[in-house]
Structure 1
Amino acid sequence: MSPRAGQGAIVRTLLDRHGETYAAQAGIRVRNTPQPLYQVLVLADLLSTRIRASVAVAAARALFDAGMDTPRRMADATWQQRVDALGEGGYRRYDESTATRLGEGAVLLLDKYGGDLRRLRDAADGDAAALRRSLQELPGVGPTGSAIFLREVQGVWPEYAPYLDAKAVQGAERLGLPGDSGKLARLVGQDETAAFASALVRAALDRSVVDEVRQAAA
């Protein structure tokens, strides 16, 4: 089997077994409308903390199930309601500080952008660095959170696709795939890039994913 054929088998196996975006896992149907974009932002904030991804996803689901699925509803919820929802999702280590910054971030998003992240998109005009800087003005959204957000929305904001950040590239290298985002992007269709990025991140975070995929693809 040629190296290229071997890479193709790894990519297909990875997508088949782990190719679900974190947004989909959290029950978010990503569309270019304010509510799902905000939900992705909340998820990106939770995922960027030093806590297991599965816990961050469960906490996002708990917040949304409790009705905190728009900037207005998040801002209107009490601090204790946010803490309780985070705790319900198992996000207990950082629940109090996270509850505070989610409230502050929702208020800032409402005040500055009318609660609509598409206004950040328009202002950035296709410049990923500019968009990430704007996102990082929101409490709790640092470099990691802004990268996660772009990874997850690239399917509906195609001017930022393909978006494969350093964590995705790290996963690729562990799998024996190219350590270059451009070369990686050419291994899948554009409509698969977000799922591919999430799968690569899972490989970076969990060595068992690497072993499983490489063994199954052999």
Structure 2
Amino acid sequence: MTDNGSGTGESARRTFLKTAGVIAVGTVTVGSAAACAVKDPATPAPDDAETTRTLGMDQPLLEALAEAVLPASLGAAGRREATTTFVAWVNGYEPVAEEMHGYGYADVRYLPADPAPAWRAQLQALDTLARKATRTPFTQLPVARRQELLDAVLRTERGDRLPAPLGAGHVALALLAHWSASPTAWNLALGAKVTPASCRVLNDAIRKPLPLAPTGAAT
């Protein structure tokens, strides 16, 4: 582009630069708007949308199951605490969440799918079995009769130890495994207030754990 001395060339150059600037600004503006729209957490992509989960379990059935599988020495209050914490854990579980990276592997691993639907169905199946076999709801059967039904249901479960709660094939095993990993279970097994996985002051580290309080009156 040359200037013929009349200023036409300079005018054309200014017009070109002005047009190019408008195009450039328009391109940046559109690109930024698109990027903001994609990254805006208020408008998540369909894959990020949370799936609605059904929470809770049939509490009377679960408490009747707990009475049949948990130690009788817990009493009613201890069993209620065990079922309450179990349901809270199940409700707070995030299916197929990414696991924390452990030592020895670098690949991404994910937690199992939601076990709650199967466990709720198994609770209902126990009640159905009780009604068919004894014409009595599971919650109204004597504890010994409930245990007999559970023996029949769990006959195909194999293993020389309790599985992790998420690996349990039946809600009865999941409940027992979850309680067995609790501080209450450790204290009961050791006969002292060890309460693992809890914070204690350094001075307590060298002290002998206190004995458990008598539970003879617990019901």
Q: TM-score, normalised by structure 2?
A: 0.28
From the two aligned structures, give the one with the greater helix fraction.
1
Higher Cα Rg, which structure = 2
Query: Using CA pairs below 8 Å that are at least 6 residues apart, which structure has the higher relative contact order?
Result: 1
Q: TM-score, normalised by structure 1?
A: 0.28
